[in-house]
Amino acid sequence: MRFLSIDDFGRKVAKVAGGSVVAQLIMLAALPLLTRLYPTAEFGVFGVYGAILAICGTVAGGRYDIAIPIPRKDVEAWQLLKLTALLCLVFVVGVIAVFGFWIPSELSTLQWCAFLLPFHICCVTCNSAMFQWMCRKNEFTWVLWSRITRASVAVFVQLVCGFSVEMRGLVIGSFAGAVALVVVNFVCIYRTRPLIEVDRLSLWHVAKRHYRFPSYLLPANCLNALSRNVPVLIISAFFGSVNAGYFTVAMRVLGVPLQLISRSIGQVFYPEAARSYSNSGECVDLFKAVVKRTFVVGSAGLCIFAVIAPTFMAVVMGDQWREAGYIVQILAPLLIIRFVASPVAAMWIITEKQALNFVWQVFLIGMIACGLAFGGMVGKWHGAIAGYGLSIALAYGIEIFICSGFAKGPRERVVVTN
């Protein structure tokens, strides 16, 4: 059986990363304007909205979207996409029904934009499922242009709202970008859909076949979403929306290399590693190559940027954002481990180790809680930031070690001793 060469893999990474690069450049180019149009507290509100969106978006589709690249037949993968959309619709209807009687106090600062949240969750979940389908069908060029479209629409609306003194313009722009992405992705999905009629019971069949995703991966991903988004919620609650705004912008800047390189590699690594593991029972060579390359690139890029971060923030975004640069200096060296772990974390799914992944996610969120508690004990929010960074560095380092054992195949197992 012929596998894709490293050149084929590299070209796919280039396409996915190319779309991310252009999209991130669009958003970075607009950031100096946005930081001057909107007050720091507004970025804190946007961070809280994004955190709630990320957590709910993880739940809505039952994580069946992640299983789309795995089946051998397109018919089964297509049914997984339809199942994800159906579950998302049920979830959104439930949220709208709840909002009809009660809106959580955490959303009160969003004012009327809180009612965008259910529809935004629907867009995020459907886009995730459609993205997995496009990767399965090797539609990486379409992925490139869809990401550029989303970023362009989001930034345009945010700038228009900023100039018109709309204080929730960051949220509105993000929602507009998600809607635009749904429209663009749907065109590709309709064009590449399978034309074979499927039995009506097949939705139930694929739901049972891939039960591990909602049973184990969904709780694990919920914990992961909490671990990534709880810090901004805690900072907003205990240190105010201004500090939450600094943290949000700092993480947005640090997220550029994660989006441009690490996640783009992971989105190509997943289907390729899944295909290799399915046919030969291992993908250790691909795993090692990805780890080495991401570590070299991540170490060089993040460490260099950490040195100039405060000055960069002050010059580009305004002197009031120098504080965000200090946060970057604290977190950048520690996030290298997460940068490396992000692409290869797909090994949990490929080897169907969702139950063990749930255990690791519990460990991760426990470490983050301890790290944030450290900041509370010393009474400074910088201490909370440092504790957060140390905790995720340790947890993601352990994840890389475990996934390396999975990549070796079932004959090579990770042995844990006391």
pLDDT above 80 for 176: yes
pLDDT above 90 for 12: no
Within a 13 Å sphere around the CA of 321, how many CA atoms are in the beta-carbon half?
Answer: 29
Q: Is residue 195 part of a domain?
A: yes
Residue among 394, 45, 388, 40 at smallest CA distance from 226: 388
Q: Which residue has the tokens 């955190």?
A: 51
Q: What is the mean pLDDT of residues 171-195?
A: 89
Taking a C-beta distance cutoff of 8 angstroms, is the pair 338, 319 a contact?
no
- CA–CA separation, 314 and 259 (whole Å): 23
pLDDT above 90 for 354: no
Parent domain of 61: 6-407
Q: Which residues contact 396 (CB under 8 A, 6 or more apart)?
A: 337, 338, 340, 341, 364
Q: Is residue 418 part of a domain?
A: no
Q: Which residues contact 19 (CB under 8 A, 6 or more apart)?
A: 143, 144, 145, 146, 147, 148
At 77-111, the pLDDT tens digits run 888 999 999 999 998 888 888 876 666 666 666 67
Q: Is residue 144 part of a domain?
A: yes
Token code pair at residue 13:
């990474």
Split into its structural domains, the chain has a count of 1
- CA–CA separation, 360 and 349 (whole Å): 13
Q: What is the mean pLDDT of residues 132-138?
A: 86
Taking a C-beta distance cutoff of 8 angstroms, is the pair 306, 324 a contact?
no
Q: Is residue 296 part of a domain?
A: yes
- CA–CA separation, 24 and 14 (whole Å): 15
Sign of CA dihedral 255, 299, 235, 159: negative
At 378-418, the pLDDT tens digits run 667 788 888 888 888 898 999 999 998 888 877 544 444 44
Per residue, the 3-state secondary structure of 39-64, as one string, reads CHHHHHHHHHHHHHHHHHHHHHCCCH
pLDDT above 90 for 190: no
pLDDT tier at 149 (50, 70, 90 boundaries)? Answer: very high
> What is the residue-averaged pLDDT of the chain?
82
Phi-psi region for residue 410, left (φ > 0), alpha (ψ -120 to 50) or beta? alpha
Phi-psi region for residue 352, left (φ > 0), alpha (ψ -120 to 50) or beta? left
pTM for this predicted structure: 0.76
Residue among 172, 303, 320 at smallest CA distance from 246: 320
Q: Is residue 245 part of a domain?
A: yes
- CA–CA separation, 143 and 160 (whole Å): 26
Q: Is residue 412 part of a domain?
A: no
CA distances to 108, 115, 129, 274, 357 from 69, rounded to whole Å, are: 39, 33, 10, 8, 19
At 235-253, the pLDDT tens digits run 887 777 888 889 988 888 8
Taking a C-beta distance cutoff of 8 angstroms, is the pair 131, 188 a contact?
no
Q: Is residue 1 part of a domain?
A: no
Q: Is residue 176 part of a domain?
A: yes
pLDDT above 90 for 159: yes
Taking a C-beta distance cutoff of 8 angstroms, is the pair 230, 51 a contact?
yes
